[in-house]
Amino acid sequence: MELDVVLSPLLQVVFDKLATPFLEEITNICGVKEELKKLRRTLRVIQTVLKDAEERQLTDRALRNWLTELKEVAYDVEDLLDECSPEVMVSGNRNRFIEQVRVFVPSLGSFASCINMLPKLEQIKETLDVLAEEKSFFNLSEVSVNNSGSSRSKSRGIRKTGSLVIESEVIGREGDKERIVEQLLSTGDSVGKISVISIVGIGGLGKTTLAQFAYNDERVKRHFDLKIWVCVNDDFDVGKIMVSILESGSKSKCDLFGMDVLQFRLQELLFEKRYLLVLDDVWNEDHNEWDNLRTSLSSAVEGSKIIVTTRSEKVATIMGTTYIHHLEGLSEDNCWALFKQRAFGHNEDHHPNLSTIGKQIVKKCGGVPLAAKTLGSIMRFKREEREWLFVQESDLWDVSESDNGILPALRLSFSHLASHLKGCFAYCSIFPRNYTFKKEKLIQLWIAEGLIQSPEGRRSLEFIGNEYFDDLVWTSFFQAVQRDDHGNIIEYKMHNLIHDLAQSVSGSEYLKLEDNSIVRSLSLIRHSSVVCDFSLYTIPEALYEAKKLRTLILVFPRGDLGEVPSGVFSSFRYLRVLDLSGSGLKKLHESISSFIFLRYLDLSNTQVETLPESVCCFFNLQVMNLSCCYNLIKLPSHIGKMFKLKHLIITGCERLTKMPASIGNLKYLRTLSMFIVGEGIDESLRELQILNLGGELNIRHLENVKDATEAMTANMLGKRNLRSLELSCGNDQGQLNRDNDFDGTLGSEVLNYLQPHENLKKLFVKGYRGNCFPGWMNVHKLPNLTELVLIACRRCEHLPTLGQLPFLKVLYLQGMDAVKIIGEELYGSGSVTSFSSLKELTLIDFPNLEFWWPFNQREGFPSLVKFTVSKCLKLHNMPCFPLLKHLELRSCNDRILQSVSDLASLTIIVIEEFKEQLVFLEKLLQNNALLMSLTNGFAPSLPI
């Protein structure tokens, strides 16, 4: 199985670079302007047939070879153009150099390197001319060169299914069937008379089998007047589907063609009937096509149901689904049952030695039934132990190439991807198995490799990359593996079989190394990962022959790299991506400056203390990830020269004490995790003025602000893409140096001028010295706030009005010395329920808090699940929380137990550091029959 050669994104990058004014000027001076025009013209001719070539390559090997050669030439053109870019040719002032070129001074300096490229340019042009002439051999169709190239590939395979199933062969799906049948028999949640139930999952997971299983259930048969099964495939032709419905429903041939006649006959068939319609294997993403079909299905009795099986959650959404059943993989035991059914029949006992190996083979299936059946069928007539061991140790695509195997089924999903998504997915083939990745990181990698393009620059590359990523999630190529405490997905991975698919379709430009064996030519390799574990201690010497390498991801599970091998710097001159995350790197050599094309550098989770100043020569660098470099004490002082830098990620770099001067020069910067206010004029808040930052920003040491107008010039209100903001004074506990007088009026003015944009979702304020919180901390100025943390704001006497924030889920309050009463002002006025979305509430270290105004039980905190109170020794009452599940009380007044003793929904109770006998605990325990966990952290015995 070979990769569809995806060339469109790369060719667009080349066109963009050929059109730069600097290149025009250089070629004009060198006398090769006509050659450049010819090169553009040849590429334009090729581009007109590119879409047709990419769609036809699967059935034409010669055409695929032509595209492969063309892609290599396109890579060479891009490398050549990058060599001639001003960022590479000069290490001084860019504008000054261009001026030197303009007057063509005798001493050309770095400009001579461009002249040395001219023979290579001529060679590339000759190769392209030959390829352009060869295009006519393939009879390719021309299309507009403005076409985005994102249309769907032509149909790559048709599969026919029916409604019959051998129920005895369906294993492990009883629970899934019951949930589907329950939906079929239910009467609620329908949109109009018809409700849609979608079964979603990757290819081979058993969606059709589950639909057949439910379709043939006796309860379902009795419930519906009419049952219809239609296999749709990727050709969502409304007329054909209507004919299929008529034939399945009437059990007779339909020769009708006119749409009006079809609609009439269909309404006649369905009239006053409660029907069940299964649309199996749907790929359609066109709202209009579905709306046209739904109109013809509307003459039924209320309670009619449609089951849709699809690999795409986007399809399920388009079809107006009322219930989505995400089909999960089978257990290993169930997969083994399917495997041995195919491999042994009823004779498993005759081959105990093979059964042991077979159970290891089944682990390759990842819970996918079709994989278990395919591998079982492969082993059906193999009885030699060495044959089974070979399959156990081999990759899936090496042993599963039959027309009905799992990889052909998965490849169908790949074939339906738009060309730009194919390139992005194929790039993921260099990731090791079970590799987890963050969405933002993968998008940044795609951008660095030129896999994402923005036609005419109308939308940001990050925005487009986000759409690409979501499309691959919708179609089950990526799956969520980790969520944060609030349910947000923070990490993804590829299912093992999807990973195998990526490996099977990746071409010669991708290489994943997990041992020392390299069995292919290295001249074409552009992207590689190296897993350095106990079987491979360092980069294999042979890899250094991959002179055109663009991506190098080093995976060190043991984290003991120390230093980057010197061969990396001398061999991989064209590197665009270098990922050393988690490698244990302690020192980065000055030689890293040889990576003049580098766009992405990831040193996160390493032990580096400083970075060499030579990294400031990375004029093409877009991303520098230093997150969780806990030993990092200093950033390069001239980082402001890296004018293309978009993401400087320094989250968790707690040992940093100052920012490099003039970081505000980085006008393209979009991510700056942390900004430390210094005492110098080029370390002030004014540096943030023109930066259009997004994501998260932690502004530290606000006590160094000398004039409140500095805060005004930071323009926080204009940073509409910022989602999380931390404003802090002093050290981690919010304590200031003794000689610092940043308090009172100045602190209040500074915080007032740092008002964020209303799009902000998370706000953290630490060490604030004002007497009251700023007026912008309310629902009118921050309506989208989901999390608020206030720490060590010791002079504030009153809490801000927060009760009407509609999306606030987490409220954490600590170190409020001056607060004596939590009054009505916290909730806000009006009839709207107070704290309607709040799920977690924490109060810690309120030494003088005595009274909490009890809000109406039915209107306050209706969603609160977890409540923590600690070090509130004077507080003797609190409101009632009707749905509270998790309660933690530490070092508080004994009387507070009386306020919570009537709670009846608790499942977790933590009570610690109470001085007296807990007289109210008995009642609390008796009222909470669902209690699962009790932590008693004090000496007195429980009164139970």
Cα–Cα distance, 447 to 452 (Å, whole number): 5
Cα–Cα distance, 41 to 521 (Å, whole number): 32
The number of CA neighbours under 13 Å toward the Cβ of 773 is 25
- Is the pLDDT at 502 greater than 50? The verdict is yes
Evaluate the CA torsion angle 281, 286, 287, 288 in order and state its sign.
Answer: negative
Token pair for 23: 């290149």
- The CA-based angle 515-518-520, given to 5 degrees, is 150
Task: Give 590-636 pLDDT, tens digit per residue.
Answer: 888 888 899 999 999 999 999 999 898 888 999 999 999 999 999 99
617, with CB counted inside 10 A (0-12, 13-18, 19+), is buried
Token pair for 346: 């009823």
- Report the phi/psi class of residue 912: left, alpha or beta, with left for phi > 0 and alpha for psi in -120 to 50: beta
Say which DSSP state 321 is in. Answer: E
Q: Looking at residue 111, what is its pLDDT? A: 47
Q: Which residue has the higher pLDDT, 300 or 821?
A: 821
Cα–Cα distance, 155 to 759 (Å, whole number): 43
Say which DSSP state 834 is in. Answer: B
Give the residue among 485, 490, 495, 541 at the shortest CA–CA distance from 518: 541
Report the C-alpha dihedral over residues 435, 436, 440, 441, rounded to 10 degrees. Answer: -40
Q: How confident is the model over 518-546, as a mean pLDDT?
A: 80
User: CB neighbours (10 Å) of residue 327?
Assistant: 20
Domains 174-326 and 418-506 share a fold: no
Contact predicate 852/879, CB 8 Å: yes
What is the longest distance spanned by two Cα atoms in the chain?
Answer: 97
Cα–Cα distance, 844 to 842 (Å, whole number): 6
DSSP β-bridge partners for residue 228: 277
Q: Looking at residue 465, what is its pLDDT? A: 94
Q: Looking at residue 536, what is its pLDDT? A: 66
Contact predicate 766/792, CB 8 Å: yes
Mean per-residue pLDDT of the chain: 83
Q: Looking at residue 821, what is its pLDDT? A: 93
User: CB neighbours (10 Å) of residue 310?
Assistant: 27
Token pair for 830: 């009006």
Q: Which residue has the higher pLDDT, 684 or 409?
A: 684
- Report the phi/psi class of residue 861: left, alpha or beta, with left for phi > 0 and alpha for psi in -120 to 50: left
Confidence of residue 420 (pLDDT cuts 50, 70, 90): confident
Task: Give 733-770 pLDDT, tens digit per residue.
Answer: 556 554 455 566 778 899 999 999 999 999 999 999 88
Query: In 610-654, where do the E strands start and end?
Result: 623-625, 647-649
Give the residue among 689, 650, 687, 643 at the shortest CA–CA distance from 669: 643
Q: Looking at residue 467, what is its pLDDT? A: 92
Contact predicate 586/563, CB 8 Å: yes
> Can you state the angle between helices 207-215 and 174-185, rounded to 10 degrees?
60
Q: Looking at residue 150, what is its pLDDT? A: 40
Q: How confident is the model over 535-559, as a mean pLDDT?
A: 83
Token pair for 685: 């808040």
Q: How far from 836 is each of 764, 852, 860, 881, CA to CA, in Å? A: 21, 18, 7, 12
Report the C-alpha dihedral over residues 205, 206, 210, 216, rounded to 10 degrees. Answer: 180
838, with CB counted inside 10 A (0-12, 13-18, 19+), is buried
Q: Looking at residue 831, what is its pLDDT? A: 57
Cα–Cα distance, 734 to 567 (Å, whole number): 47
Q: How far from 774 is each of 769, 770, 944, CA to CA, in Å? A: 12, 9, 48
Token pair for 681: 């004029």
Cα–Cα distance, 236 to 449 (Å, whole number): 35
Q: Looking at residue 158, what is its pLDDT? A: 59
CA 350 to mean position of chain CA atoms: 48
pLDDT above 70 covers what percent of the chain?
85
- Residue pointed to by tokens 């409304």: 238
Token pair for 64: 């695929």
pTM: 0.82
Contact predicate 594/615, CB 8 Å: no
Q: Looking at residue 939, what is its pLDDT? A: 44
Q: Looking at residue 830, what is its pLDDT? A: 63
Q: How confident is the model over 122-134, as a mean pLDDT?
A: 77
Task: Give 205-216 pLDDT, tens digit per residue.
Answer: 899 999 999 999
- Is the pLDDT at 34 greater than 60? The verdict is yes
- From first CA to last CA, the distance across the chain in angstroms is 69
Task: Give 245-297 pLDDT, tens digit per residue.
Answer: 998 988 888 877 788 888 888 888 888 889 999 999 998 888 888 888 888 88
- The CA-based angle 254-255-260, given to 5 degrees, is 90
Confidence of residue 892 (pLDDT cuts 50, 70, 90): confident
Q: In this predicted structure, which of 469-478, 495-504, 693-702, 907-916 has the lowest mean pLDDT?
A: 907-916
- The CA-based angle 388-390-395, given to 5 degrees, is 115
Q: Which residues contact 306 (CB under 8 A, 6 or more apart)?
A: 194, 195, 196, 197, 276, 277, 278, 279, 297, 319
Residue type, 123: Q
Cα–Cα distance, 280 to 269 (Å, whole number): 20
Token pair for 583: 């490698």
Cα–Cα distance, 291 to 9 (Å, whole number): 33
Q: In this predicted structure, which of 156-170, 329-343, 503-517, 650-664 has the lowest mean pLDDT?
A: 156-170
Q: Looking at residue 113, what is its pLDDT? A: 52
Q: Which residues contact 589 (CB under 8 A, 6 or more apart)?
A: 563, 564, 566, 569, 612
Q: Looking at residue 221, what is its pLDDT? A: 93
Task: Give the CATH number of domain 418-506.
Answer: 1.10.10
Contact predicate 770/792, CB 8 Å: no
Q: How confident is the model over 303-320, as a mean pLDDT?
A: 91
The number of CA neighbours under 13 Å toward the Cβ of 68 is 17
Strands of 623-625's sheet, edge to edge? 510-513, 527-531, 551-555, 577-579, 600-602, 623-625, 647-649, 671-672
Q: Looking at residue 697, what is its pLDDT? A: 96
Cα–Cα distance, 922 to 897 (Å, whole number): 10
Give the residue among 787, 752, 786, 780 at the shortest CA–CA distance from 768: 752
Cα–Cα distance, 944 to 937 (Å, whole number): 16
Token pair for 623: 């991303």
Task: Give 573-595 pLDDT, tens digit per residue.
Answer: 899 999 999 888 888 888 888 88
CA 605 to mean position of chain CA atoms: 20
Cα–Cα distance, 401 to 214 (Å, whole number): 31
Evaluate the CA torsion angle 413, 417, 419, 420 in order and state its sign.
Answer: negative
Q: In this predicted structure, which of 70-84, 429-443, 530-544 has the lowest mean pLDDT?
A: 530-544
Contact predicate 628/604, CB 8 Å: yes
Q: Which residue has the higher pLDDT, 839 or 377?
A: 839
pLDDT above 90 covers what percent of the chain?
36
Q: Which residue has the higher pLDDT, 202 or 842?
A: 842
Say which DSSP state 478 is in. Answer: S
- Residue pointed to by tokens 């009642």: 923
- For domain 174-326, the CATH architecture is 3-Layer(aba) Sandwich (3.40)
- Is the pLDDT at 199 greater than 60? The verdict is yes
Q: Looking at residue 105, what is its pLDDT? A: 37
- Report the phi/psi class of residue 70: left, alpha or beta, with left for phi > 0 and alpha for psi in -120 to 50: alpha
Q: Looking at residue 789, what is its pLDDT? A: 97
Evaluate the CA torsion angle 398, 404, 408, 409 in order and state its sign.
Answer: negative
Task: Give 505-526 pLDDT, tens digit per residue.
Answer: 887 888 888 876 666 678 889 9
| Exposure class string for 253-270: b at 16+ Cβ within 10 A, else e | ebeeeeeeebbebbeebb
Token pair for 29: 């001076």
What ranges do the domains of the chain cover? 8-138, 174-326, 418-506
Q: How far from 648 is each of 322, 669, 672, 719, CA to CA, in Å? A: 43, 8, 5, 17
Q: In this predicted structure, which of 70-79, 136-145, 241-250, 604-613 has the lowest mean pLDDT?
A: 136-145
DSSP β-bridge partners for residue 811: 788, 841
